[in-house]
């Protein structure tokens, strides 16, 4: 079972927004056993929309479209689809009333443009959008396929997929399963890893597909099986992963989309230990990675973003003499920050960062990208320096990752801690 995902909107083609809709749709379709054949993004042009959807219907039983359903003149998806399926637009009382009430609750006047949002192709099944003013549309195609049009607002699209589209697809088609399992390795470069596991890779059964997903210091290995029985494929993949554990066990750090911060999160909750962070150059990025995860309040006591030197001194108790003598970006200050936040929060573990995120502030001795990271534990503290690149965003994200990695290394094996 194949699907094509089409996102419509010039804002995608000019790079004004990052398309996350197709990511979420792809995941949901994969979950119910539908393989994505192709994802594409096209502009708000009638001819392109028509030719794209016609081609997509030839390639895939299911075509999911997002975007172009708003009330304004640049939104042409609905009219184009009505034309394509030879259907006229008729006013839908239920949807019209819903839009009127939704706007009334927000204190917004119901205009002719809003009325237009309840004008829907006669031939489609209307998918009620409880969270917005643009309903979704489900078209059955002559060849037994389905074309679904959804609004581009991510939140509205998500609810429509979950509540209206997925249940209908499951009822409509006999679906097999797709199974993906991803294993995360650290410490072996991709090419050496490939050499180490070559015999294993060559012996994989044909229906298990291996992918290498390299990132700095991490290579993820994904095994995928399409159109299979879920339990059987999962067991089979697990057995293959068991073999890998024998080959590269020490380098395996986790599974399935789990990030290092998620692993730390799990370990801290499991052991009943607590964490605090003190951030200078990462500016809250580390705190927000942890607090983004449900359950963080079980271990995350607090964080201090000590950007100004006075904040380092007044909140964390860093010595101003040390800042003057060694600089704010130094081993001494990183250690005092970690120890300071550990002391004031009473946390078991603390990590700290201080560095030069740029673009200005660098010097010959300490160029932009220089970051000191420290960890303070019940047993003591230590710091390391890493150069984290040249781009501000990259420096913040790498320094955050390194600091979390220090913590992970500290706690991963020590079950007494």
For residues 355-414, which are near a copy of itself according to CB under 8 A?
357-361, 392-394, 396
- Compute the least distance from the CB of residue 406 to a copy of itself, in Å: 18
Angstrom distances, CA of residue 295 to CA of 266, 276, 292, 298: 9, 15, 9, 6
For residue 296, give the 3-state DSSP assignment. helix
- Extract the runs of DSSP E, i.e. beta strands, from 187-251: 209-215, 218-228
Residue 319 in the binding site for a copy of itself (CB under 8 A): no
For residues 167-196, which are near a copy of itself according to CB under 8 A?
178, 180, 182, 189-192, 194-195
Q: Beta strand pairing status for 209-215 and 177-186?
A: unpaired
- Compute the least distance from the CB of residue 198 to a copy of itself, in Å: 9
Task: Evaluate the CA torsion angle 70, 72, 78, 84 in order and state its sign.
Answer: negative
**Which residues neighbour 192 within 8 Å (Cβ) at sequence distance 6 or greater?**
none
- Compute the least distance from the CB of residue 238 to a copy of itself, in Å: 19
Figure out which of the listed residues 346, 363, 367, 414 binds a copy of itself, where binding follows CB under 8 A. 346
User: Is 32 or 123 the residue whose CB approaches a copy of itself more closely?
Assistant: 32
- Compute the least distance from the CB of residue 174 to a copy of itself, in Å: 21
The strand pairing partners of 372, in sequence order, are 354, 385
For residues 130-159, which are near a copy of itself according to CB under 8 A?
133, 153, 155
- With CB under 8 A as the contact rule, which of the stretches 111-119, 246-254, 331-339, 401-409 interacts with a copy of itself? 111-119
- Compute the least distance from the CB of residue 398 to a copy of itself, in Å: 10
Q: What are phi and psi of 372, to 5 degrees?
A: -95, 135
Q: What are phi and psi of 138, to 5 degrees?
A: -120, 120
User: Is 345 or 370 the residue whose CB approaches a copy of itself more closely?
Assistant: 345
For residues 324-343, which are near a copy of itself according to CB under 8 A?
none
For residues 21-50, which are near a copy of itself according to CB under 8 A?
22-27, 30, 35-44, 48
User: Is 125 or 307 the residue whose CB approaches a copy of itself more closely?
Assistant: 307
User: Is 249 or 359 the residue whose CB approaches a copy of itself more closely?
Assistant: 359
Task: Evaluate the CA torsion angle 242, 243, 248, 249 in order and state its sign.
Answer: positive
96 closest CA partner among 134, 136, 123:
134
- Compute the least distance from the CB of residue 139 to a copy of itself, in Å: 22
Q: Give the separation between CA 267 and CA 248, rounded to whole angstroms.
A: 22
Q: Which helix (H) or strand (E) covers residue 101, if one does?
A: helix 93-105
For residues 45-74, which are near a copy of itself according to CB under 8 A?
48, 52, 70-74
- Compute the least distance from the CB of residue 68 to a copy of itself, in Å: 11
Contact of 310 with 295, CB cutoff 8 Å? no
For residues 219-238, which are near a copy of itself according to CB under 8 A?
222, 224
Query: For a copy of itself, what does the binding mask look like between residues 254 and 293, x meaning CB under 8 A?
Result: ---x------------------xx-x-xxxxxxxx-xxx-
- With CB under 8 A as the contact rule, which of the stretches 3-11, 81-89, 137-145, 375-383 interacts with a copy of itself? 3-11
Q: Give the separation between CA 8 and CA 19, rounded to whole angstroms.
A: 10
User: Is 277 or 383 the residue whose CB approaches a copy of itself more closely?
Assistant: 277
Q: Give the separation between CA 50 and CA 61, rounded to whole angstroms.
A: 16
398 closest CA partner among 364, 358, 369:
369
């Amino acid at each position: 079972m194949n699907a094509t995902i089409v996102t419509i909107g010039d804002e995608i083609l000019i790079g004004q927004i990052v398309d996350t809709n197709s990511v979420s749709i792809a995941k949901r379709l994969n979950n119910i056993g539908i393989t994505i054949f192709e994802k594409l993004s096209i502009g708000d042009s009638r001819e392109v929309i028509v030719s794209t959807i016609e081609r997509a219907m030839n390639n895939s039983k299911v075509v999911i479209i997002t975007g172009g359903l708003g009330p304004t003149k640049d939104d042409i998806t609905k009219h184009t689809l009505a034309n394509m399926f030879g259907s006229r637009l008729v006013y839908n009382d239920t949807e019209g009333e819903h839009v009127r009430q939704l706007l009334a609750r927000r204190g917004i006047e119901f205009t002719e443009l809003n009325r237009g949002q309840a004008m829907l192709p006669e031939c489609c099944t209307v998918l009620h959008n409880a969270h917005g003013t643009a309903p979704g549309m489900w078209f059955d195609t002559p060849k037994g396929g389905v074309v679904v049009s959804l609004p581009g607002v991510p939140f509205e699209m998500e609810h429509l997929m979950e509540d209206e589209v997925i249940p209908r697809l499951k009822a409509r088609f006999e679906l097999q399963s797709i199974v993906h399992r991803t294993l995360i390795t650290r410490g072996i470069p991709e090419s050496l890893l490939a050499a180490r596991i070559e015999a294993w890779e060559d012996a994989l059964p044909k229906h298990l597909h291996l992918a290498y997903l390299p990132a700095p210091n991490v290579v993820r290995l994904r095994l995928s099986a399409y159109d299979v029985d879920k339990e059987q494929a999962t067991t089979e993949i697990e057995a293959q992963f068991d073999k890998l554990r024998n080959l590269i066990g020490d380098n395996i750090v986790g599974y399935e989309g789990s990030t290092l911060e998620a692993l730390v999160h799990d370990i801290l909750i499991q052991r009943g230990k607590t964490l605090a962070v003190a951030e200078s150059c990462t500016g809250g990025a580390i705190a927000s990675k942890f607090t983004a995860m449900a359950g963080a309040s079980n271990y995350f006591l607090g964080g201090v973003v000590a950007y100004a030197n006075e904040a380092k001194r007044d909140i964390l108790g860093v010595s101003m003499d040390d800042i003057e003598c060694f600089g704010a970006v130094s081993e001494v200050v990183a250690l005092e920050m970690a120890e300071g936040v550990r002391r004031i929060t009473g946390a078991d573990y603390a990590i700290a960062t201080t560095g030069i995120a740029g673009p200005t502030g660098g010097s010959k001795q300490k160029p932009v990208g220089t970051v000191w990271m420290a960890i303070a534990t019940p047993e003591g503290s230590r710091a390391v320096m890493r150069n984290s690149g040249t781009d501000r965003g990259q420096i913040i994200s790498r320094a955050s990752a390194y600091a979390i990695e220090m913590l992970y290394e500290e706690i991963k094996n020590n079950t007494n801690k």
